[in-house]
Structure 1
Amino acid sequence: MEEDKKNNIKGYMLAILGGVSWGISGVCSQYLFTQYDLSADWLTAIRMLLSGILLLVLAFRKEHTRIFKIWTKGKDTFWLIAFALAGLLLCQYTFLAAIKHSNSATATVLQSLNVVLMAIVMAVWNKKMMSRIQIAAIVLAFSGTYLIATKGSLTSMDVSAAGLTFGLLAAVGVVIYTLLSRPIIAAWGNLTITGWGMLIGGSVLFLITKAWIFPTNLDLPAWIIIAVIVIIGTAVGFSIFLESVKYIGPVKSTLLGCLEPASATLLSALLLGTRLTVIELIGFGFVVGTVFLSVSTKE
């Protein structure tokens, strides 16, 4: 019983840190986009590719040649490729496409629907109705994300058919990579699976976007920020989030992952001087409330 409690606490902390890591990545990305006019496609390809290499190096130090043995298991290889392409890459690419065809606020809100989709999928899979507390947590998570992303303004929501489609696909991508990672991470370890997933997805995007053509305006500070995105926002963020799923399950993990927009907004205020509105603060409070409700729910 005591061990279960420790595992739950560990899972909550990992999911929260994962959301905060993504928030840090968002702030750094925003800075690069505004100050260096980088392509979002190029940055995504680079961060996935480099974080995959970094994670596999760490996995090799721990597991040695075992990290390559997954390629000898046909079934696990299939799930790994599905996790990388139908999960990680799908989420990364469609989220950027949603921003391109609408705006960042709309894309963030649509992607946050993953908490609703995940809860529905797990309820159907387990043949069990969602509890009132779980429903309340979902409502708080989505409402908080909406208020933070749009400042409560309906006019901020610019939803074209393409923007809506890509945004919903981004939400689906989050659900897919979270669920597909569970069995293969249990068998092969978090570092190995996340590393291969990032490397596979990053390599495909690298080829599609011709990311070997580096921007010419990058200086040392830009590369330092890119390193933060690769290490903290991608390698650390995704790996510890997926590790949290092992301890507290996919529903609670995705709910706590909604700390991403809240942490990004708060960090923007602290580091970039962005002013927070009352509506954003209310949204921030909603998302924090989601954390407490998630802790009290029994999945």
Structure 2
Amino acid sequence: MTQQHHLRGVILASIACILWGISGVAASTLFISNPHLSAMWLTQVRMLSAGVILIIAGQLTGKHPLAIWKHKRSAWQVVSYGLLGLIPVQLCYFEAVRVGNAPIATIIQFLGPFIITFYFLFFKHVIPKRIEVIGMVMAFIGTLLIVTHGHLNSLAVSPAILFWGGLSAIGVATNTLIPRSILPKYGALAVTGWGLLVAGLFLMVLQPMWRVHLTLNAFQLLLLVVIVLLGTVAPFLMFAHSLSYILPTTASLLDAFEPLAATVFSVLFLNVQLTSFDFVGGLMIILAVMALSLNMHKMLILFHRRRTDS
């Protein structure tokens, strides 16, 4: 693979992560401009629209997305992926943005890889390496700085954003682990498209979106299009395509652009006030996750080998 191809992959993955960060800022703007809009309604629109688009894209590119439903095991996995992976990583994230702000919500969600580490430790008995232990300590200190601003007897952020942000971080872990065995066979377009559609339909059963009476102006409709197309469909396609040119470990390191983009655009366009504790804590978490990502790919390969041997 040439250096030009590697650079192309890095650019694609970087832009994808920046767009994901911008989608959080767009959602925050939407919640501020329309207080009647709920995270549930926005998540349903995002999931159903993006799911249909990705499935159609899979069909047009010859990926045969319907094949995933021909086998009971793969069908159950895609349903589990939608309900246990995509719902927490999207609905809970939007709830965290709604009750707080995009930078803090994105940084808390960014702790997801550490939940994967704990999963391997407690359930697969994979001992974390020294760099991973250092990363976990850094992430803990960084989170403590954001949550307390240096005052251990009080919280600087609301318990609600910690609750929803924590659930979204768990969603990052389940979103990574659940579909791994079916992604190589059916492709990312089909798996993610059906996962989004299943999750969106399930949320529709819980709270039908047509019962919510909302009036959106032109600016709010534009934000909605940004969230669905520029914040979901486009970055997913770009990130998936980038893996043709770069390793997953390289791509995961570039995930750091997501919280950075959410922070920069929130400060510039939403006048979000962040303290030095937020910046230092966020930087510690980002560096910790980048250190963890260097070993995450090896950990997943080891997990795959153990499953194959068993």
The two structures share one fold, judged by TM-score above 0.5: yes
Q: Say if 1:256 and 1:290, in contact at 8 Å, map to a contact too.
A: no
Superposed displacement of residue 221, structure 1: 1.7
Number of residue pairs matched by the alignment: 292
The CA distance in 2 between the partners of 1:150 and 1:243, in whole Å, is: 40
Superposed displacement of residue 190, structure 1: 0.7
Q: Say if 1:52 and 1:198, in contact at 8 Å, map to a contact too.
A: yes
Which runs of 5 or more residues in structure 2 are unaligned?
299-310
SS in 2 for 1:218: coil
The CA distance in 2 between the partners of 1:199 and 1:51, in whole Å, is: 8
1:212-291 equivalent positions in 2, closer than 5 A: 212-213=210-211, 215-237=213-235, 253=252, 257=255, 259-290=257-288
1:144-172 residue CA offsets vs partner (Å, 9 max, x unmatched): 46656776664224437x974x6544333
2:54 partner letter = L
Q: Say if 1:122 and 1:251, in contact at 8 Å, map to a contact too.
A: no
Aligned-pair identity in percent equals: 29
Which sits farther off after the overlay, 50-59 or 122-131? 122-131
1:142-181 equivalent positions in 2, closer than 5 A: 143-144=141-142, 147=145, 154-159=154-159, 164=163, 168-181=166-179
The CA distance in 2 between the partners of 1:89 and 1:288, in whole Å, is: 24
1:202-217 equivalent positions in 2, closer than 5 A: 202-213=200-211, 215-217=213-215
Superposed displacement of residue 239, structure 1: 5.8
For residues 157 and 22 of structure 1, do their structure 2 counterparts lie closer, same or farther at Cα, with a shift above 3 Å needed?
same
Q: Say if 1:91 and 1:172, in contact at 8 Å, map to a contact too.
A: yes
The CA distance in 1 between the partners of 2:136 and 2:241, in whole Å, is: 21
1:153-204 residue CA offsets vs partner (Å, 9 max, x unmatched): 64224437x974x654433322112111211111111111111111110111
1:155 partner letter = L
Which runs of 5 or more residues in structure 1 are unaligned?
none
For residues 264 and 174 of structure 1, do their structure 2 counterparts lie closer, same or farther at Cα, with a shift above 3 Å needed?
same
Q: Say if 1:178 and 1:250, in contact at 8 Å, map to a contact too.
A: no
The CA distance in 1 between the partners of 2:106 and 2:156, in whole Å, is: 12
Aligned to 2:54: 55
| Higher share of residues assigned helix | 1
1:91-130 equivalent positions in 2, closer than 5 A: 91-95=89-93, 111-123=109-121, 127-130=125-128
2:46 partner letter = R
| TM-score for both structures, normalised by structure 1 | 0.77
1:27-53 residue CA offsets vs partner (Å, 9 max, x unmatched): 001101111221111111111111101
1:29 partner letter = A
Q: Say if 1:190 and 1:243, in contact at 8 Å, map to a contact too.
A: no
1:226-250 residue CA offsets vs partner (Å, 9 max, x unmatched): 1111123223445666788997569
The CA distance in 1 between the partners of 2:158 and 2:192, in whole Å, is: 33
The CA distance in 2 between the partners of 1:228 and 1:293, in whole Å, is: 31
Aligned to 2:42: 43
